[in-house]
A and B are shown apart, each in its own frame.
Chain A
Amino acid sequence: MPNEQTTEKKPAVETIRIKVDGREIDVPKMTPDWQGKPQKTTMLQACALAGIEVPHYCYHPKLIVAGNCRMCLIEFGTPAIGPDRKPVLNPDGTPKISRSVLPYEPSTPRGAIACATEISPGMELYPNSPATKQMREAVLESLLINHPLDCPICDQAGECKLQEYSVDYGKSKSAFAEEKVHKPKHVELGPRIVLDDERCILCSRCIRFSRDIAGDDALGFVSRGSHSTLTRYPGKNFDNNYTLNTVDICPVGALTSKDFRFQMRVWFLKETKSICTSCGTGCNITMGSREDKVYRFEPRENDAVNSCWMCDYGRLNYKWINRQDRLAVVQGSKVNVTDPLTEWPRTISEITGLLGRASTGSAAIIASARQTNEELFLLKKLADKLGAVTDSVSRSGEGDKLLLNADRNPNSTGARLIGIAAVPMGSNLPKIAAGIASGGIKTLIVFGEDVTTVGIGENLLAKLDLLIVSDILPNKTTVLAHYLLPGCAQAEKRGSFVNVKGRVQRFMQNIQPKGNARAEWEFLHELTHGVTGQNGFASIEGLFNQMAAEVPGFKGLTWAGLGDLGVTVTI
């Protein structure tokens, strides 16, 4: 059952009434902190609830508060208390507010850092007052005096907080008449990270992330004052599996990804919500491409799955999408297909005919747990019609405590829920091998696996009457296929996966399929319904909803209901 849809009554939330820019608003007294523990609501959180963004650099909702950048300083006031310890009232009966001022210079407003200062009843926040604006201008100016201002060659340009806030609080001309501080450039912190210390604004986000989230206290500052320099621990390589997250959270262009730097201007990237397929965690990602070439994965916040993070292994596991040897042509050994416009209909039609004539129990289906739920659902329908034995191939590696799961398939749970995978996964593979050897199995349908690596060798494959293979990269199985149906990477199609914890998550198409390849669910829709004679949906939405109606594990779900963050089912 989807947990999200329970209609439990939430207890009344205790609120505090404050004013933000003169507007009264009730905000919860407590708000989750970086670890999700309820803590007293801060000014910054209260302003966010009031729809007002407080600019900041060092604050990050998923990191311990540091309070060092001072960009979030805001002017505020609190109800004045008289000598009798009672609130002082204005002539009109409203509470008198005393604005915060410097104790030694009462004509000058004193700001408080919104990221760390708790709100209190009756407090007034002035996030847009002239004094607040002046404080931001001064902080920004300080951050920029020693900054190289090399935006034209900086990878962060376009998604840089210094640039963004310069528009609101910057000056067109610098007052700085001195020589800038010079610091190390092009510092290799680790195998995947390059640091430009001159761009660094010393916000310490990367240090806090590495220490508190990744558990690798590898980064720190050396030297003092304006000469403070970010560096790694002497003799230690910054090479844990989460280093690239520091590039994401670096508000400026100090930390850059070796993989992405100088590759593409970020404003050219087409960004799509997707899911990482490198393990069973299913980290939510934003995929960035230009002209059908994928350039980067970045984590997309989902507190139910990956917070704001993803591992380097998953993040960099995208190059194969752009590989030159991607399967892009439909191949049939029985017929010579030459016309790209008609090759798909003719091939599907031929396969439909062949499968329709196969005797019950003479076929087997091996479908990868990297295929989507929708594809596995269609394959399961086909298997039921053919009386085929089915299975998937397990894939495992070393997991860690943070995000990387030992299950390296993105959809093992989906394969189990749909019933394609045997329990345990892979236990039917020897039976299929034996069936082929004995001649009982004459037709094998393989989706997304090289079965020669799991005990069904080339000699066995050679015995088959019919070998239908769909894949995206060539391997020993695709070479032997009688029919080869080029499929799509997750970047090229839509679909859903179920992660190891039962989170059903959908992903969107970012780029076009290679050559004449098609999304597997599209041609499986034609094939399955051709063989079974049943009707079905030709859209991913309809297909998912049909699956949800038929597969008990997905009961009650809808494609639209998955939203961007998915829904957890009981597994």
Chain B
Amino acid sequence: MPQQYRLILKNVDQPGYTPDLDCYLRHGGYEVLKKSLALPGKDLADGKKMSAQEQIREDVKISGLRGRGGAGFSCGLKWSFVDRKSGKPIYLICNADESEPGTFKDRQIIYKDPHLLLEGMIISCFANDVHLAYIYIRGEMTDGAKILNRALGEARAKNFLGKNILGSGYDLDIHVHRGAGAYICGEETGLIESLEGKRAYPRIKPPYFPAVLGLYMCPTIVNNVETLAAVKHILQMGASEYAKLGTPNNTGTRIVSVSGHVKKPGYYEVEVGKATLGDMIFNAEFGGGLREGRTLKAVIPGGSSAKVFKAGEKFKLKRKGPDGQMTPVDVDMLDLPYDFDSLQQAGSMSGSGAIIVMDDTTDIVQALANIADFYAHESCGQCTPCREGSLWLAKALHRMDNGHARRADADYLLNIAQNIQGRTICAFGEACAWPVLSFVKKFRDEFDARGISDEAKNAAAGPSQQLKIAASPASS
């Protein structure tokens, strides 16, 4: 039976554990930083020397760590893209703009173990020759910003930050920058623009890849809170030991946020892929199952932008058979290992690690209207398909939810969403299109039924009802 594996959250929520430096030091804090800074150069077979920084970067690569923000991109690879020859400073930004609906994992680290984040971040900065780094924290997390600033002050006082850190000759400072409350600031180039003091309009890529032209047009690394926290553990336990956690290509642990119609909504740290989606929902260790008398209807497996799974849905996944060949096997939605690759193969994603559970009391049209509202509200408005399409979807869904659905609306919604995905500057286009595409395709009968009944009802009520267009709350 899968269990929680508390690595990053090891101390979080433990009785007596506080977010101050003394407590962190009592629990062995900053020892990994000390070791990392003192790491001697390594002689290679070809006579070359591998610097401490290169060794750490190599360790992160070996660990197989994948970004915990949403895209699941290899952290080691991301670091390897950084332009180290430009002569310009390299910046590192911790993306603490956690705001994907259903996600509440980074804030556990920030609020309850801020020095863990700082230690991971300082090591990551050292490994990448960064001398100035930022924590971009979501505007709504006012206390989080205070906690981080206090932690930074404590770290500076003990010379874990600042000039000549612990006598190593390495200088680093970290600033906390608070966002003003926009989801798009979590998109790394939008975040960079915001950090530069501009509207968080994501940049076009090409040419503005952060690894080359990031903050102030300098090479920049943007990593998620949980990713940076993991770096500390990778170096503490050794990269190959870390890589043994989880499953191949989906290594380490991951904090999963479970919310919605479960008995025990909460955050649970697990080895990646060792628990199934069903475990996360039904296992007493995690979500604890649905409320009495309810049946499962749908699951959004990776934050509200991930494509929804319908209860009972089966997927063909490639699995190694007894003969060693990769053969497709039928896997029920609930039996999908909760990792990066399986969910992707099933047509969705583990995204930010947020599982949103919907039972049979859920009105699918209303649920989708709620999600669409969020994306219409959060679209930055820079590029046409997303700007216009996101609000269009929200208005249409609210019209449907307010008794004015049409039989044509399922195709109408699919068409709008299809014209957003893949055509926008950033992945927000997908984020607002995917819920619609998946909800409508998988629960089409419910959308069609609304259209049929509303058209009949409105035809009976007379022409004025047929012409009435419902105003959406999003239009105000």
Contact residues in A for B287 (Cβ distance below 8 Å)? none
What is the 8 Å Cβ interface bit string for chain B, positions 383-426, against chain A (1 contact, 0 not)?
11101111110011001000000100000100100010111110
Contact residues in B for A351 (Cβ distance below 8 Å)? none
Answer whether residue A551 sits at the interface, using C-beta atoms and an 8 A cutoff: no
Complex contact B425–A68 (CB within 8 A): yes
Q: Specify which of B380, B382, B390, B471 is in contact with A179 (CB 8 Å cutoff).
A: B471
In the complex, which residues 92-125 of chain A have their Cβ closer than 8 Å to any Cβ of chain B? 102, 104-105, 108, 110-111, 113, 116-118
Answer whether residue A409 sits at the interface, using C-beta atoms and an 8 A cutoff: no
Interface of B is mostly: loop
Answer whether residue B448 sits at the interface, using C-beta atoms and an 8 A cutoff: no
Answer whether residue B472 sits at the interface, using C-beta atoms and an 8 A cutoff: yes
Complex contact B388–A224 (CB within 8 A): no
Answer whether residue B233 sits at the interface, using C-beta atoms and an 8 A cutoff: no
Contact residues in A for B406 (Cβ distance below 8 Å)? 177
Contact residues in B for A65 (Cβ distance below 8 Å)? 204
What is the 8 Å Cβ interface bit string for chain B, positions 108-121, against chain A (1 contact, 0 not)?
00000000000000
Contact residues in A for B378 (Cβ distance below 8 Å)? 224-225
Contact residues in B for A71 (Cβ distance below 8 Å)? 384
- Chain A residues within 8 Å of chain B by Cβ, number: 42
Answer whether residue A313 sits at the interface, using C-beta atoms and an 8 A cutoff: no
Q: Specify which of B384, B395, B469, B471 is in contact with A142 (CB 8 Å cutoff).
A: B384
Answer whether residue B199 sits at the interface, using C-beta atoms and an 8 A cutoff: yes
Contact residues in B for A476 (Cβ distance below 8 Å)? none
Q: How far is the CB of A173 from chain B (nearest CB, A)?
A: 13
Q: How far is the CA of A142 from the CA of B385 in the complex (A)?
A: 6
How many A-B pairs have beta carbons closer than 8 Å: the answer is: 113
Q: How far is the CA of A110 from the CA of B422 in the complex (A)?
A: 6
In the complex, which residues 135-191 of chain A have their Cβ closer than 8 Å to any Cβ of chain B? 135, 138-139, 141-143, 145-146, 175-179, 181
Q: How far is the CB of A59 from chain B (nearest CB, A)?
A: 11
Answer whether residue A221 sits at the interface, using C-beta atoms and an 8 A cutoff: yes
Complex contact A226–B390 (CB within 8 A): yes
Q: Specify which of A108, A116, A175, A225 is in contact with B391 (CB 8 Å cutoff).
A: A225
Contact residues in B for A218 (Cβ distance below 8 Å)? none
Answer whether residue B376 sits at the interface, using C-beta atoms and an 8 A cutoff: yes
Contact residues in B for A175 (Cβ distance below 8 Å)? 412, 415
Complex contact A225–B390 (CB within 8 A): yes
In the complex, which residues 422-464 of chain B have their Cβ closer than 8 Å to any Cβ of chain A? 422-425, 430
Q: How far is the CB of B432 from chain A (nearest CB, A)?
A: 10
- Chain B residues within 8 Å of chain A by Cβ, number: 40
Q: Specify which of A69, A110, A118, A202 is in contact with B206 (CB 8 Å cutoff).
A: A118
Complex contact A226–B379 (CB within 8 A): yes
Answer whether residue B475 sits at the interface, using C-beta atoms and an 8 A cutoff: yes
Contact residues in A for B381 (Cβ distance below 8 Å)? 202, 221, 223-228
Contact residues in B for A102 (Cβ distance below 8 Å)? 421-422
Complex contact A142–B391 (CB within 8 A): no
Q: How far is the CA of A388 from the CA of B201 in the complex (A)?
A: 67
Complex contact A113–B204 (CB within 8 A): yes
Complex contact B385–A226 (CB within 8 A): no
Query: Chain A CB within 10 Å — which of B199, B378, B472 has the most?
Result: B199
Contact residues in B for A110 (Cβ distance below 8 Å)? 422
Contact residues in B for A370 (Cβ distance below 8 Å)? none
Known A70-B384, A178-B399; contact A226-B423, beta-carbon cutoff 8 A: no
Contact residues in B for A118 (Cβ distance below 8 Å)? 206
Complex contact A68–B390 (CB within 8 A): no
Complex contact A69–B383 (CB within 8 A): yes
Q: Specify which of B384, B415, B421 is in contact with A69 (CB 8 Å cutoff).
A: B384
Complex contact A178–B387 (CB within 8 A): no
Q: How far is the CA of A171 from the CA of B224 in the complex (A)?
A: 44
Contact residues in B for A202 (Cβ distance below 8 Å)? 381-382, 384, 387
Q: Specify which of B396, B423, B430, B472 is in contact with A70 (CB 8 Å cutoff).
A: B423
Chain A interface (Cβ within 8 Å of chain B)? 65-71, 73, 102, 104-105, 108, 110-111, 113, 116-118, 135, 138-139, 141-143, 145-146, 175-179, 181, 201-202, 220-221, 223-228
Chain B interface (Cβ within 8 Å of chain A)? 182, 199, 201, 204, 206-207, 347, 376-385, 387-392, 395-396, 399, 406, 412, 415, 419, 421-425, 430, 469, 471-472, 475
Can you give 10 A-B contacts (C-beta < 8 A)?
Answer: A69-B384, A142-B384, A176-B392, A177-B399, A179-B472, A181-B475, A224-B378, A225-B381, A226-B388, A226-B390
Ranked nearest first, the 8 interchain pairs of A and B with the lowest CB-CB distance are: A228-B381, A138-B419, A225-B379, A142-B388, A226-B391, A178-B395, A67-B204, A102-B422
